[in-house]
Amino acid sequence: MNKEVIINISGLQLDAGTEEPIELMTTGDYYLKNGKHYVIYDELTDDSQVVKNRLKISPKVVEVTKKGASSSHMVFERGKENLTYYDTPFGSLLLGINTSKIDFEEKEDSMALHIDYGLSINSDHVSDCSIDVSIASKQQEHSDCTDSAQ
What three-state secondary structure class fits 74? strand
Looking at residue 47, what is its pLDDT?
82
Q: Domain span at residue 82?
A: 4-149
| φ/ψ of residue 49, rounded to 5 | -95, 145
Side chain identity at residue 36, one-letter code: K
Query: Which 3 state secondary structure label does DSSP give 108?
Result: coil
The pLDDT value given to residue 140: 52
CA–CA gap between residue 119 and residue 30 (Å, rounded): 28
Phi-psi region for residue 79, left (φ > 0), alpha (ψ -120 to 50) or beta? left
Q: What is the b/e burial string over 99-130, where b = at least 16 CB atoms within 10 angstroms of the residue's CB?
A: beebebeeeebbbebebbbbbbeeeeeebebe
Q: What is the mean pLDDT of each run of 10 residues along the chain (150 residues)?
A: 92 77 93 95 86 94 91 93 87 93 94 96 92 89 45
> What is the pTM assigned to this prediction?
0.84
**Given this model, what pLDDT does residue 148 score?**
44
- How many domains is the chain built from? 1
What's 41's domain CATH number? 2.40.128.20
What is the per-residue pLDDT for 100? Answer: 96
Rounded to the nearest 5°, which phi and psi values hold at 149?
-80, -20
Whether 38 contacts 56, CB under 8 Å: yes
**How deeply is 54 buried, as exposed, middle or buried, from its count of CB atoms within 10 A (0-12, 13-18, 19+)?**
middle
Return the closest-CA partner of residue 29 out of 5, 61, 55, 48: 5
